[in-house]
Chain A
Amino acid sequence: MRKFNHSSDLEGFRQELLEERKDITSTIIIPNGTCCQAANSLAVIKAILQEIARQGVDKNVQVHLTGCHGFCEQEPMILFEPGNIIYCRVTPEDAREIVGRTVKGSEVIERLLYTDPVSGKTARTEAEIPFYQAQDRQLLQHNKWVDPRSIKDYIAIGGYRALVKTLDSISPKTVVEEVRSSGLRGRGGGGFSTGRKWAEARSAPSDEKYVICNADEGDPGAYMDRCLLESNPHLIIEGMMIGAWAVGAQKGYIYVRNEYPLAVQHARLAVKQARDIGLLGENILGSSFSFDVEVARGGGAFVCGESTALMTSLEGKVGEPRPKDIHTVKEGLWNRPSVLNNVETWANIPSIIMNGSGWFASKGTKGSKGTKIFALTGQVKNTGLVEISMGTTLHDIVFNIGGGQKNGKAIKAVQTGGPSGGCLPLSKFDLPVDFDSLYEAGSMMGSGGMVVMDEGTCMVDVAKYFLKFLQDESCGKCVPCRIGVDRMLEIVTDITEGRGTREQITLLEELSETVAETSLCGLGKTAPNPVLSTMRYFADEYFAHVDEKRCPAGVCKALISYDILDEKCNGCGVCLRACPHGAIKGEKKKVHAIEPQLCLKCGICITECKFDAIAVG
């Protein structure tokens, strides 16, 4: 490909691309991200391509492989444009019919359409699906039109125009001002004002500065950053370039965890493509601006997402945090001023430049502007990536987008913010989701994990889960986190196993404060949040465990027992055969019984019994 030497070259190239593509009559879009591949999208793609070759279709029909569109649960999906027709949970066996009837015959195959589990209605188009309707997909919308391996696709939809605009007509100082007045706050968890961070880095005296993209994403259950980087890597690179121009950096790093092979691969390819056409390198588009990006792989330690640990790791040392009495914007990577931003933060930059800070600030709440992507998981009908305007209520997300409860058990809480966040009860569901209101309620925006929990979830057990995660992921350098979190886990384990006392609950509270106040880095400082928020909103569950030795949700094994209800058991013997531990005794057609000494409380019998005759107590 040729190299561009002037900013007008890019616009010329876009026009050529559009001209080249104007005859395309229809596009078959098949998402093929990591999550899609896990749902067998590769086999579907292969089958579709084979069918196309076999049946032969018009040369103006184009097959487009893109990143994930967010509705992960319904994958593999196929979209047809124009028309916006969407097929869900497609199998390779459907390929023949799809190519024959839909591609060649423009006919809609009813059985592949999406059926809304709430209303029971089928939706022909993506726009009719409730999961998408309540969203505001500013960042995710591009995924549909971009093959992450093609810089041409990105340029064709208007990519790198924000960069051209910046280089042509916006001074670095104005860029910083623009980002500051947009009100954009970091999407990586802290919610620090991006404009302020840039301004500090810009004013730091140094001949060498860095911009870094944090794609370490270690929160369990969160994958927004993976999706963005893997589906639209040029968007991130463009954001970083604008940031580099603004603060005066010549070098950028994308720090992405090694467990994201597709993201690494796509980011590397994107960097190479951008270099090849002169968008990265010396004197970009003929300007005085020189900048290059390197993709660095992280080993996947959660703590390496922390800013100082990430930079230490980039320097090639063990990724442990260091004291941050001097901010990394002044002394970061190799002690040079460094701007570290989250993937999603960078992704927001090009549209702020293109549409202006006023446009961005018009979305959201007073203190939190724009949109935010969440990974919605847990006990709701629809799971996947949802992008909403800041200020949307938890209720809207859980019930309108998520479709409400899944297993007939009432929803009781939602966990946001991953291991640093907290659990909010149903009574808080009318809270608008933004940085400040979540923080005030005792949770956190975090990077965007959102786990919905129902009556079958024990909140003490949830706290234990996160403590275990943090204990494993703590780097171990400082006392409060290494020993403190471990002791917290010890106490919570005691509580879930029936050894808990009231004094321990007090101690847990005091210890939480100590760990939060004295830990070296953000991991330890926020580690007590899951415990504190569950104690605040679900104190009765803690007390039930401690005082009555009872787990209300029936989860904590040491506190529950399984019993067969005499009046419901008809002696079919299914449970007896199903129990792997031989704990169930009984004769055919007679009431069965569980031997408590042998029962390991695995719960298999409950799922097997057709007559609801087994009770947890």
Chain B
Amino acid sequence: MIQTVTLTIDGVPVKAAKGASVLDAALEVGICIPHLCHVPFLQDTGACRICIVENVKNGSSRVTTSCTLTVQEGMNIQTNSEKIRKLRRNLAELLVAQAPNSKAIQDIAVRCGVKEVRYPFRNENCVQCGRCVRYCTEMWKANALGFVGRGKNRRVEFPFATRPDFCKNCGSCTLYCPMSITPCGGPMKRGEEHLCGKCESQAVTAPNIIGACTRCELGKGFSCTRHML
């Protein structure tokens, strides 16, 4: 039998399988924690930080990513506090300023309540979520992709920058890439980037209700876990 633990998420007691992540436990019961780099069945690395929650313990709270946090008996998690909403919004703003040409990122920005972008747009074509790398490495054991470089210069690359013959051409990397679908209005040219914001009506952004998953369309663009299950 599966062993379970009980924890509280946003005030609601939730049962979860022992060893599950807080993110999975929340999604399972329909609480939406926005996420980007998490893909079910792949190792979580905590790269995008969008899935942050507050872990409240003895009166003080710690901000941490829910995809890397394992459920524990009696845990008290806040996914939608004012603090989390603000931090998440700022993170999503950083992301969308970096890569506005992605429906997934634009969707996440909307979901996280980004109303304006206070940085000059950069229009890059990778957000380094590492989905492609992990899928290739863990699912297919192909190791055809990896990260090279550090900091600003970090990027996804084939070994020695050429497609190796052990790449199985399966296409998973593009399938799971949040950058592969452009915003509905088509690709934005340099200098014309903007916050799309079209799907706002569908997003669960009202602060007073719990961030319940409504199976919104937002997740489709980047394969939100709930759309994949």
Contact = CB atoms under 8 A, between A and B. Distances in A.
A476 B153 contact: yes
A477 B47 contact: yes
A480 interface: yes
Given A325-B69, A483-B98, A476 B118 contact: no
Contacts of B50: 479
B140 interface: no
A303 B153 CA distance: 15
B24 to A, nearest CB: 14
A153 interface: no
Contacts of A507: 118
B154 A476 contact: yes
B52 A487 contact: no
A473 B150 contact: yes
A517 B54 CA distance: 11
A303 B151 CA distance: 10
B53 to A, nearest CB: 11
Contacts of A303: 150
Interface in B39-54: 44-50, 52
B102 to A, nearest CB: 14
Among B49, B91, B119, chain A packs the most CB atoms within 10 A around the CB of: B49
Interface string A295-317: 00000010100000000000000
A474 B68 contact: no
Nearest to A507: B118
A407 interface: no
Given A323-B65, A325-B69, A510-B90, A479 B95 contact: yes
A518 interface: yes
B70 interface: yes
B128 interface: yes
Among B86, B118, B150, B153, chain A packs the most CB atoms within 10 A around the CB of: B150
Contact of B94 (A301, A318, A484): A484
A93 interface: no
Contacts of B118: 503, 507
A490 B50 CA distance: 22
A301 B152 contact: no
A520 B46 contact: yes
Contacts of B149: 476
Nearest to A503: B118
A599 interface: no
Interface string A482-511: 111011001000000000000100010011
A472 interface: yes
Interface footprint category on A: 20 to 34
A475 B49 CA distance: 15
A475 B153 CA distance: 9
A101 interface: no
A514 B119 contact: no
A28 B86 CA distance: 64
Interface residues of B, number: 35
Interface string A440-483: 00000000000000000000000000000001111111111011
A322 interface: yes
Interface string B119-155: 1100000011010000000000000000101111110
A323 B68 contact: yes
Given A483-B94, A486-B152, A514-B91, A477 B64 contact: no
B173 interface: no
B30 to A, nearest CB: 24
Interface in B79-104: 86-87, 90-91, 94-95, 97-98
Contacts of B46: 322-323, 478, 520
Nearest to B92: A479
Nearest to A506: B118
A322 B44 CA distance: 10
B63 interface: yes
Contacts of B47: 477-479, 520
Contacts of B91: 479-480, 514, 518
A408 B119 CA distance: 41
A250 interface: no
A325 B64 CA distance: 8
Contact of A482 (B45, B65, B120, B154): B154
B159 to A, nearest CB: 13
28 contacts: A301-B150, A322-B45, A323-B64, A323-B65, A326-B70, A474-B150, A474-B151, A476-B147, A476-B152, A476-B154, A477-B128, A478-B49, A479-B47, A479-B91, A479-B94, A480-B91, A480-B94, A482-B154, A483-B98, A486-B152, A487-B94, A490-B119, A503-B118, A514-B86, A514-B87, A518-B63, A520-B46, A520-B49
Given A473-B150, A476-B147, A480-B91, 16 more contacts: A323-B68, A325-B70, A471-B151, A472-B151, A472-B152, A475-B150, A476-B149, A476-B151, A477-B130, A479-B47, A479-B95, A482-B151, A482-B152, A511-B90, A514-B86, A520-B49
